[in-house]
Amino acid sequence: MDKISNSWALVKQSFAILNKDEELMLLPILSAVSCILVSASILGAGGLYAYPQIQAAAAEQLAWRPSHAMLAGFVFLLYLVNYFVIIFFNTALVSAASARLEDGNPTVRDGLRVAWRRLGVIFQWALVAATVGMLLRMIEERSGFIGRLVAGIVGMAWTLATFFVVPVLAFEDLGPVEAVERSIELFRKNWGEEVVGTFSFGLIFFLLALPGILLPLLGSSLAGAYGATIGATLMVVYFVVLAVVNSSAQGIFLAALYRYAKTGGISQGFSQSTFSSAWQPKSGYRD
């Protein structure tokens, strides 16, 4: 229960900051829209590229299948562009959130300006992240249960090691490899090496998402199929809003936690106890 209470406290503290600058929620929206657009563009380009081959195979009454190399390259490209878009807007969000935590009055343009200045290194980091993500996926898919277990362990270690990479990219003049080293250094200095998190934004927002699942059922009980359609529409809207708030709150928390890890300073609206106990040694952890 400690994990739920700690998570809820951090969500409330982050949301209180977000409430002062709701404009920050535009950045996750722009990120999601951009991911959809670039993914659609790549899928469309891939379809146009493969169309002559599909036609030729159909003319010979053969089933067309892409080569393994083509499929792997296509999937990697999707990974790369989506990682790039997400990291770019996350960098902008963390930058703007950090300015807000320092009593500034940032705009979306201010955050995007910082991300644009770091465009080259963001692309380099996206290339690294996409490569690691692709390798973990290949291990998971081709090695059965053991592969999934190994990929899960390595994935968790990678997530922990790279936790502060985005704010490091935003505020420190480092390349992607140095950013990982700096992220690990900040982590070790403040919380040690073998730790577990005492917070989970995903858990809180999962619990908050549960009422949305009831909307179609409620609509169906009140107005049949018509009510179920309205309920389903409201459910989608609710989930989208929840996802945007989740991303925004996490960006604010990451900016505040990075500031604490780097300087020891506690951002207004947060508490010393929530930061110092954000991670605890594995041996001393209680859920």
pTM for the whole thing?
0.85
- Comparison of pLDDT for 14 and 65, the residue scoring more: 14
Task: Please name which of 86, 75, 153 lies closest in space to residue 126, comparing C-alpha atoms.
Answer: 86
The pLDDT score that the predictor gives to residue 126 is 94
The pLDDT score that the predictor gives to residue 194 is 63
Of 172-186, 190-204, 241-255, give the lowest mean pLDDT range.
190-204
- Answer yes or no: are the C-beta atoms of 254 and 275 closer than 8 Å: no
Q: What distance, in Å, lies between the first and last C-alpha atoms of the chain?
A: 6
The pLDDT score that the predictor gives to residue 33 is 92
Range(s) of the domain holding residue 222: 2-284
User: Mean pLDDT for the chain?
Assistant: 85
Q: What is the mean pLDDT of residues 206-233?
A: 88
Q: Is 137 exposed, middle or buried (0-12, 13-18, 19+ CB in 10 A)?
A: middle
Q: Domain count of the chain?
A: 1
Return the DSSP state at 105. -
- Answer yes or no: are the C-beta atoms of 25 and 222 closer than 8 Å: no
User: Percent of the chain, pLDDT > 90?
Assistant: 29
User: Residue 252 pLDDT > 80, yes or no?
Assistant: yes
The pLDDT score that the predictor gives to residue 150 is 80
- Answer yes or no: are the C-beta atoms of 29 and 244 closer than 8 Å: yes
- Answer yes or no: are the C-beta atoms of 13 and 269 closer than 8 Å: yes
pLDDT digits (tens, 9 = 90+) for 71-129: 888 889 998 999 999 999 999 999 999 888 887 788 889 999 999 999 999 999 999 99
Residue type present at position 18: L
| Beta-bridge mates of residue 145 | none
pLDDT digits (tens, 9 = 90+) for 132-190: 988 888 888 777 777 788 888 888 888 888 989 999 999 998 999 999 999 999 888 88
